[in-house]
Chain A
């Protein structure tokens, strides 16, 4: 399978700070998704970004597929941003689409 490494594993911020989360993967991919897992365990879709850059409000993401990494930027963080952020990828060339997940970044935002 594909190895997915996320860093940092834990991040503690004060409200209003900016942060960057990184996802490295070991093979070519045709799908890359960022998720936020809320305290009840639901995975919320943030970005579907196999390549390029996207922005959605205070969040943006960039995937450089040729260098096998993706970055998630959170600006002006809020306490509601707390939770676990997962990166997940699907291998290029596979028609089945199973996702391989990293271990996540645990983000805590203090007021």
Chain B
């Protein structure tokens, strides 16, 4: 069990560019979550996958954001036409169906210039 991993750990981009983040959950976990955290706040929910199905999306997830989990294993989160307000830490978590204790990855820190 290597834990949840995320790549890249840091991303600096210019406004208007597209970025993609990857999350690899704990291998036996069916559930995968994306959260976003801004300075001084707790993480906020973005979206949830159970296996490959995306079952819930937050209002925070505008149409510039898209997430996939194509084979029910790793997931990607893409942000198109980035804005300065997208600067944040993007956190991925996974859990088993039996109890939903969520385990978080190290996060991807996005800075939009």
Q: How many A-B residue pairs have CB under 8 A?
A: 60
B interface residue count range (under 10 / 10 to 19 / 20 to 34 / 35 or more) = 20 to 34
In the bound complex, what is the Cα–Cα distance between A59 and B9 (angstroms)? Answer: 30
Q: A43, B40: Cβ atoms under 8 Å?
A: no
Q: Main SS of the interface on chain A?
A: strand
Contacts of A99 in B (CB 8 A): 33, 35, 43, 45, 93, 102
Contacts of A35 in B (CB 8 A): 104
Shortest CB–CB separation between residue B107 and chain A, in angstroms?
Answer: 5
CB closest residue in chain A, given B89: A41
Q: B56, A96: Cβ atoms under 8 Å?
A: yes
A residues sitting closer than 8 Å to B (CB atoms) are 4, 30-31, 33, 35, 40-43, 45, 48, 86, 88, 90, 96-104
B residues sitting closer than 8 Å to A (CB atoms) are 31, 33, 35, 37, 40-45, 48, 55-56, 89, 91, 93, 95, 99-107, 109
